[in-house]
Amino acid sequence: MKRFLVLLVVVMLVASLVSAKTMRLVFASAYAKEDHQTQSLLKFADLVKEKTNGEIVIDVMYGGVLGGERDVAEGIQLGTVDGAILGGILQNFDPAMAILEFPFLFKNEAHIKYVMDGPVGQVINERLQEKIGMRYLSIIMRTSRELTTNKPINSLADLKGLKIRVPEMKAHLETWKALGANPTPLAFPEVYTALQLGTVDGQENPLPVIYANKFFEVCDYLAFTDHLPGFMMIIINNDLYKSLSYENRIALLEAAKEASEYNDEILAASIESIKNELAKHMTFTYPDKDEFRKAAKDVYKKFSNVDGFTELYLAIKAAGENF
């Protein structure tokens, strides 16, 4: 009995030491588990645990259980959430970050990666750290945002007065106003119900998001507008990141890079099948994209008074000349 008690105490001490050595972090995704962005974040969590030998364990909370993207971003600032998949929503904390999700700015995936993996991306990351206390570890590519509605969109004129759900971002609001719609900002977890109840007439998102979140159940038409080739980012609280050992910082960066590559593989393998599945439920239309682009060409001027915006916008636009 005495030997058993001694052994039990030793086991408890070892367990306590292991537990004390493990750092548990909470990362959030507003998207469904099946969505490629959530899958990439789950992959990131697995890789972090592996690369840190269990020193860092990440719990991924998906499906908007921690709120919309703005709620999550506020949580990261407060330290109640450690990281997340986020993108243009960060413009609510630094208006210059509208460039992260500005319609008709980036031309394609190659343009995005050239910018975000290069000097301009480094400046953007430095600004995120200085202005809002976050940093991105890698980008997570998306396909272009497309428009789903309950009436066919064959031309710009068909948009007039339609209530289109948009993210809570000024760049989206101003763009859809310029296109003649009535943009309605809503947190992502509220979108399906708003479409179901007719609170909004449509929404816009990449095809995998439309499919994973079953928007085809509440929208009959899909217009290929390609208005925003986009990306998200794996974001982490900057103070938390700086508190880590160099070894674990490197592990997080490596894991994020590999998760980004994994995401690219998911998209490449699934996009055609997703399109085919959506075609079973929705009618596709192909409005003139140049008509949309011309209507929105001066929207960026509404941000001319925002510190740092114009310089970053023009640098990204100039980089696009190579693509």
Residue 159 in this model has a pLDDT that exceeds 80: yes
Q: What integer is the mean pLDDT of 84-96?
A: 95
Residue 25 in this model has a pLDDT that exceeds 70: yes
Residue 232 in this model has a pLDDT that exceeds 50: yes
Domains of the chain: 22-143+230-271 (3.40.190.170), 145-229+276-306 (3.40.190.170)
Residues with Cβ within 8 Å of residue 18, at least 6 apart in sequence: none
Q: Walk across the sheet containing 134-141 and list its strands.
A: 56-61, 23-28, 83-86, 231-237, 134-141
Residue 184 in this model has a pLDDT that exceeds 70: yes
Mean pLDDT lowest among 15-24, 78-87, 300-309 = 15-24
Residue 8 in this model has a pLDDT that exceeds 80: no
Q: In whole angstroms, give the CA distance from residue 117 to residue 108.
A: 14
Q: Are 215 and 195 in contact (CB under 8 A)?
A: yes
pLDDT of residue 130: 98
pLDDT of residue 20: 54
One-letter amino acid identity for 163? K
Q: In whole angstroms, give the CA distance from residue 256 to residue 125.
A: 15
Residue 97 in this model has a pLDDT that exceeds 60: yes
pLDDT of residue 234: 98
pLDDT of residue 15: 41
What are the angstrom distances between the C-alpha of 176 and each of 13, 94, 100, 161, 217? 60, 21, 17, 10, 24
Q: In whole angstroms, give the CA distance from residue 181 to residue 193.
A: 20
Q: Assign 224 a pLDDT band (cuts: 50, 70, 90).
A: very high
pLDDT of residue 168: 87
pTM for this predicted structure: 0.84
Q: Assign 1 a pLDDT band (cuts: 50, 70, 90).
A: very low
User: In this structure, what is the dihedral angle of CA atoms 270, 271, 277, 280, given to the nearest 10 degrees?
Assistant: -160
Q: Assign 16 a pLDDT band (cuts: 50, 70, 90).
A: very low
One-letter amino acid identity for 79? G
Q: Assign 165 a pLDDT band (cuts: 50, 70, 90).
A: very high
Q: pLDDT tens-digit profile of 129-148?
A: 999 999 999 999 999 999 99
pLDDT of residue 228: 94
pLDDT of residue 158: 98
